[in-house]
Amino acid sequence: MPELPEVETIAQGLRPLLTHRTITGIPHLAPHLNPQGPNSLIEKLIGQQIQGVSRRGKLLFLDLSPTERIAFHLRMTGRLGMSPAGEPPGAHVHLLINLDNQSALYFQDQRKFGTFRHYTEQELNAWPFYSRMGPEPLSVGEEEFLGRVEGRRGRIKALLLNQEVVAGIGNIYADESLFRAAIHPATPASALSRPRITSLYHALQNVLREAITAGGSSIRDYRTAAGLVGTFQNAFQVYGRKDQPCLRCAESLRTTKVAGRTTCYCPTCQPEPVSG
C-alpha cells in the first residue's frame, strides 16, 4: 500500500499539472467508486477549478475550493496519472477526469480497493478516519511526538501504524525507522526512554525525507504520477529482507508479527525487550 512518501511523491508530480485546471467532463466513472449513481457527482464537479493538490496522511486531495475537496485513497493498487483527453480508458482504469487543456487525470486500480469521494469541509471533518488522524510525522515537533509515544500501552510498531498517533506511516517505513533507531518492533512503548524515542523521531523523519527524495518505494504496483518507479526500495535495510544479512552487523534478519503485520528486524541490532 502506498504510504506517506509515495502519496507525497504523486501529489508533487500532479500539482503543477492540475493546479488551476478546470474539470470539463468525467467520461468514465466506475459504479463501485460512486454507488449512489454518477449523475449528481458529475454535475457537482464539472466546471470546478482545481485550486491545488494536497496530502494528509495516506490521502491525496484535489482542492476545489476552501470548502470542497476530492479525496483519493489509493489503498493496495491505486495509481493516479495523466493521459491525453479522449483516449479510451486503459486496463483497470475506473475514473477519467477531463481537463480544460485536453489532458485527463486517470485513476487505475487493479484490485478495486481504492476510493474516490467528493467532500464538503463539513463532511470531511465528520469522517472519523480523517478527523481522528494524528499529526504529520514530517511536521510534528519532537516534544509532541514524545508526548504521543512516551508511556503509551502497546508495542512501538503498532503505535507507529496507528494513524491516530501519527499519520501516513505503514509497514515499510515503520520497519526501516525502527531499525535505524535500534529498537525492536515489539518493544512496549512504555519501556522506551525519552532518548530512545527521540532517536526514533529523528530516524522516522530521515527515512521519510529520503524516501520522498527517491520518489517512494516501488515493490509491485506503485508508480509516480509520471509512471516512473520509485527507487527507495534499493535502500531498504530490513523491509522485505528476511534471512538476508544485516547490512550493519551481518546477522541474518528475522521476521515476526506485530499488529498483524509481517515485521522484519535484526536480532542483534534490535534486541528483544527484556520482560519484567
- Binding positions: 92, 111, 152
Of the listed 38, 144, 261, 273, which one is catalytic? 261
The reply to whether 3 belongs to the active site is yes
Q: How far apart are CA 45 and CA 48, in angstroms?
A: 6
- Known binding-site positions for DNA: 92, 111, 152
Q: Which of 234, 173, 184 is nearest to 206 (CA)?
A: 173
CB atoms within 10 A of CB 151: 12
The reply to whether 271 belongs to the active site is no
Of the listed 3, 8, 68, 176, which one is catalytic? 3
The reply to whether 112 belongs to the active site is no
Of the listed 2, 5, 137, 185, which one is catalytic? 2
Q: How many CA atoms does the CB half-sphere of 80 hold within 13 Å?
A: 28
The reply to whether 44 belongs to the active site is no
Q: What is the largest CA-CA distance in the chain?
A: 65
Of the listed 21, 55, 58, 69, which one is catalytic? 58
Q: Which of 198, 140, 191, 128 is nearest to 169 (CA)?
A: 140
Return all residues near 64 (Cβ < 8 A) that are at least 6 apart: 45, 48, 49, 50, 51, 70
Q: Which residues are catalytically annotated?
A: 2-3, 58, 261
